[in-house]
Amino acid sequence: MSVLANAAELLKDVHASTDQILVGLSGGKDSLATLDLAVKEFGSKNTACYFMYFVKGLRCVEATIKYCERRYKVKVHYFPHWRLGRAYKFAQYMPHRAGASNWRVMKLTDVEQAARAQTGINWLAYGQRMTDSLERRAMLHKLCGIDRKAERVYPLWRWNAGQVYAYLRQKQIPLPAKLTVLKRSMSGVNFQEDTLLFIKQKYPDDYKKILEVFPYVEAKLARYALKQRDWQAKQGTSR
């Protein structure tokens, strides 16, 4: 069975037990392909999405989310990323807050519970693939792409990155913005220096919003700039 046929079969299997599906939409290529497949099986009226943000209102990532809303006529529900709770608790790139050490550590299941409660949809569809990591390979291979107990389905579990790109090209789905000058394929907002510098240069308004929540990333970039200068100086003296 082809990977596309397998994905369609998994979603059809879920459709036999529910009329609606909730897609975890990150804005990355895998979630875009998952959304397209879900809408094909369930229809726009019976498909909803949820998006987790680190900083709300960043054009560099939310432009893709808005595109999905327009193209598929689906409702996207916004929730704080579960890692954002950890950032506040452990003061990651931000000032410490009184009493934050007593806060409960957030998990993905907390966001899932909130999304399910808000939408009334229990079954979740995600774009994870076995080729993402060894941990995901073990998990998805054991589940064979569907977790009936937790009500999660992974239509792309057997796909590789090339097959995802080919599917998006065939469906004429624009690729999400690559927020780095490096060759790695990761997209989306993170605290890697190359990503922060790229956003600072190309999306200055978004960078200002990031600083409002994470003011200490400026110190991270300053240290990175010093390391770069030291490395360049060493390269110059070794010639």
At which residue do the structure tokens 């057997």 appear?
A: 158
**Residue 48's beta-bridge partner residues?**
22, 75
Looking at residue 200, its pLDDT comes to: 94
Looking at residue 170, its pLDDT comes to: 97
Nearest to 188 by CA among 98, 101, 58: 58
CA distance 181 to 31: 22
Convert the pLDDT of each residue in 145-180 to its tens digit: 999 999 999 999 999 999 999 999 999 999 988 888
Question: Quick one: which H or E segment has residue 78?
Answer: strand 75-80
Total residues belonging to the chain: 239
Q: Does domain 3-178 have CATH number 3.40.50.620?
A: yes
Looking at residue 22, its pLDDT comes to: 98
**Residue 124's beta-bridge partner residues?**
22, 152
> Which residues of the chain fall short of a pLDDT of 70?
181-187, 230-231, 233, 235-239
